[in-house]
């Protein structure tokens, strides 16, 4: 009986270790890759580093864009938190798969989020490497019909990879589809959001003070 239990335990351990744990994609590891690592990758790939004054999508393949924060142009990816920096790559090739429109968010010099367009090749690769994901969906009735979002998730401690596919309606009831993959550390993302909110509150306070000062003679 003890021998049987030991054998069953052995195979259970093999099964639990059969799939890799998600850490990131290629050279970009969540919680490990630094901005300096990214700069080394840019130099090795002959990418010019260029600041972007607004959001970037489908930019040049020869440029690593650093998204700039402007108080009068609010972007979800960029904040006034000085510990946060966001970079954009038009494409990134790894394991024979082309990944498009990659956004890399760093907080305190560590990569905390990798976001990119999803693709059939990437979906297949994830299932092959990490196993079947946890599936869920959300349905919401709007004026134009029912909007639906499907989620596929893989977990590794605080790191979560989420493949999101949504069917949405525009204000004119035109159907649009969103298909993206995000890998992020939930704890580090929470810390960045707290920093973001503090920075936003500080900027709002400065703006309110400036507005009042402009009206001092009223």
Q: Give the tokens for residue 60.
A: 């040049």
- Whether the per-residue pLDDT at 9 is higher than 50: the answer is no
Tens-digit pLDDT profile for residues 81-120: 889 999 999 999 999 999 999 999 999 999 999 999 999 9
Q: Where are the domains of the chain?
A: 21-214
Contact 67, 88 (CB under 8 A): yes
Question: Measured in whole angstroms, how far is the alpha carbon of residue 198 from the centre of its chain?
Answer: 21
Nearest-angstrom CA–CA distance, 23 and 11: 25
Q: Tell me, what DSSP letter sits at residue 206? A: H
Burial level of 31, CB count in 10 A (0-12/13-18/19+)?
A: middle
**In terms of Cα–Cα distance, which of 17, 27, 28 is closest to 184?**
28
Burial of 193 (0-12, 13-18, 19+ CB in 10 A): middle
Q: Whole-model pTM above 0.75?
A: yes
Report d(CA 156, CA 135) in Å as an integer.
16
- How do residues 140-156 score in pLDDT, each as one tens digit? 999 999 999 999 999 99
Nearest in space to 153 (alpha carbons), one of 137, 141, 168: 137
Nearest to 164 by CA among 140, 185, 133, 121: 133
């Amino acid at each position: 009986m003890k021998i049987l239990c030991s054998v069953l335990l052995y195979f259970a351990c093999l099964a639990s270790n059969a799939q890799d744990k998600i850490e990131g994609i290629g050279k970009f590891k969540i919680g490990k890759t630094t901005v300096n690592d990214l700069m080394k990758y840019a130099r090795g790939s002959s990418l010019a580093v260029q600041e972007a004054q607004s959001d970037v999508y489908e930019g040049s393949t020869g440029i690593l864009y650093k998204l700039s924060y402007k108080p009068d142009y609010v972007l979800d990816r960029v904040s006034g938190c000085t510990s946060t920096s966001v970079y954009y790559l038009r494409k990134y090739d790894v394991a024979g798969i082309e990944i498009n429109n990659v956004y890399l968010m760093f907080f305190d010099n560590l990569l905390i989020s990798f976001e990119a367009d999803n693709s059939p090749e990437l979906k297949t690769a994830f299932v092959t490497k990490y196993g079947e994901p946890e599936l869920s969906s959300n349905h919401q009735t709007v004026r134009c019909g029912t909007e639906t979002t499907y989620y596929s998730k893989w977990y590794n401690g605080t790191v979560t990879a989420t493949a999101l596919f949504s069917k949405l309606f525009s204000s004119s009831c035109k159907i649009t589809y969103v298909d993206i993959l995000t890998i992020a550390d939930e704890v580090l993302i929470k810390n960045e959001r707290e920093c973001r909110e503090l920075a936003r509150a500080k900027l709002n306070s400065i703006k309110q003070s400036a507005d009042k000062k402009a009206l001092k003679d009223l």
